[in-house]
Amino acid sequence: MIPIKTDEEIKIMRENGKILASIMNELKEKVGPGITTLQLDRLAQSLVFKYGGKPSFKNYEGFPASLCTSINEQIVHGVPSERTLKEKDILSLDLGFLKNGFHSDMAITIGIGEIDSEVNRLIKAAKKALKRGIKKAKIGNTFGDISNTIQRFIEGQGFIIIKDLCGHGIGRDLHEDPQILNYGKRHTGLEIKKNMVFCLEPMLSMIGDGKIKKSKDGSGFETENGSLSTHFEHTIAITEKGAEVLTILE
């Protein structure tokens, strides 16, 4: 059963989403060679508290931090550490924000310093796949329409879909129904309806078969073959006009 939000609940999530986008923007400005992911986590937590919220991820299913920091072959849920970022690394930041009883969730991938052109293309492909998926998120379409659009774009760019990880509904709980795959067939799955709220999050790798394994930190997932990976995510609400991206600065 997919929860349908009220207009008032979406208003709360819209306010939360703007705050989260602002926090992520501040974090992005601090990312560069020489900073540790633990420093970024501490900054993220302080900003969440500054805006009167709570970090959605901290202690969620045992996760020990506020911010997910996934480097290079790590896809999602990387645990912050004393590891220092260096030139040519890529870093995915994933942060959840809880306030007034509702969660928002977003992720971005950033190149550190000067990165190779093909790596830059990988990052752009994930970002564009998310945008294309969002355009398909409208009343009357199905979740399969979203999934298929994301899949066709990623594969058209020559990259690999991480099939074992997916998007999700969100609201009073961080993870709600439905699970939203990044691959699938058109016109399949549940129909998208007004006032549904969910997260789309394409995850892709540069080469290989898309298989994943647990990271040594015990929480993260990484590509089995060590291929670089990227991750972008937005929280969106379905309106009469289409998808409204809640985790974005106007």
What local confidence, expressed as pLDDT, does residue 250 receive?
Answer: 65
7-245 is a CATH 3.90.230.10 domain? yes
Q: Please give the average per-residue pLDDT across 208-236, as a whole number.
A: 97
Instruction: Look up residue 196 and give its amino acid.
Output: M
What does the pLDDT look like over 67-113, one tens digit per residue? 999 999 999 999 999 999 999 999 999 999 999 999 999 999 999 99
What local confidence, expressed as pLDDT, does residue 114 receive?
Answer: 93
Residue 200 vs residue 250, higher pLDDT? 200
Contact yes or no for 231/203 (Cβ under 8 A): yes
List strand residue ranges (DSSP E) for the chain, in order: 54-55, 67-71, 74-76, 90-99, 102-111, 160-161, 167-169, 176-180, 197-200, 203-205, 212-214, 221-223, 229-231, 234-239, 242-245
Residue 119, Cβ neighbours under 10 Å: how many?
A: 18
What does the pLDDT look like over 39-50, one tens digit per residue? 999 999 999 999
Q: Average pLDDT, whole number, for the chain?
A: 97
What does the pLDDT look like over 2-24, one tens digit per residue? 999 999 999 999 999 999 999 99
| pLDDT over 80 (residue 160) | yes
